[in-house]
Structure 1
Amino acid sequence: MKFDGIIADPPYGIREKSSKVGVKKDKDGNVYPQQPHDNHYPEKAKYSLNQAFIDIMDLAAVKLVVAGRVAFWFPVARDTYNENVLPRHEALQLIDNCEQMLTQRGSRRLLVYKKQREPIAGEAAYILEDPYANGTFRESMFVQGRTTNAKPEAAGDAPTV
């Protein structure tokens, strides 16, 4: 089944840590088979923000029709943003990148990619520069236990007292 479009808004880890349904490993890395239960509650496994976007891009490359679109919100720390932190896939072309400011430190970008061709075997999504190599998006928004929620003043606006 192919789709004309995919829209996603994955969690950024601000309110709740990013996770996915999976199997947790113990401290030695062992995975134990689940016992059958009357009620099954799936376990959550750690899931990095970058991996979520790579998975979305890989899914789009396979499941979109040619000329189909994938759109998703991508969180960024405004002071370290550059285009190298955006996810990429050789079968997809970035056609739109719009910023929505969330705080003075953080924003999210609505990224829209268009599928150019079917992916070649072995092609996978990638990110040139890991924006969270030194921490998470959540950590970049909170400094010494505080965050700034005020939007910057527009040019010519008088500061409020």
Structure 2
Amino acid sequence: MAVRHRLTSVETVLEEGSWLFTVRDRRGDDEEVILVPCRDDDREPVEAWVNRCTHEEQRLHREGIGAVIRDGEIVCPKHGSMFETCSGYCDNGEAADTTLVDVEIAVEDGQVYLTDDDVTFRRTGRADEDDGDDGPSSTSHLRF
């Protein structure tokens, strides 16, 4: 069983709209994960997804912007595919019929904990702070 690691509060995720952290997987690779609000009474108030679109591995959460969420869906900044925040499923655009990779978390007393046995917590924020990522060159029809 993985060591439970406190990430942040549900309130912080709801206020900021998304929250980014980095984990290390079993292969030793760092992977970014985003926490996003989930507005489904049958689920936790927050869900965790690997921070990349299933179409071209585009980051969904951008430094200084966060994840763009519209009507309960995470919008890919490159092609405009939209993923449901609660299920991770996409039914449109370039990523249609795919689902984001989930990371196991638990919510207890308003706090969010990493509980996934396949990863270990590395740090808050991006996997590589100095990778020079200026974001995607968008081909989306959506404008923000």
Superposition TM-score, scaled by structure 1 size:
0.26
Bigger-Rg structure (1/2): 1
Q: Higher relative CO (CA 8 A, sep ≥ 6), structure 1 or 2?
A: 2
Using the size of structure 2 for normalisation, the TM-score is: 0.28
Q: Give the structure with the larger strand fraction.
A: 2
Name the one with the larger helix percent.
1
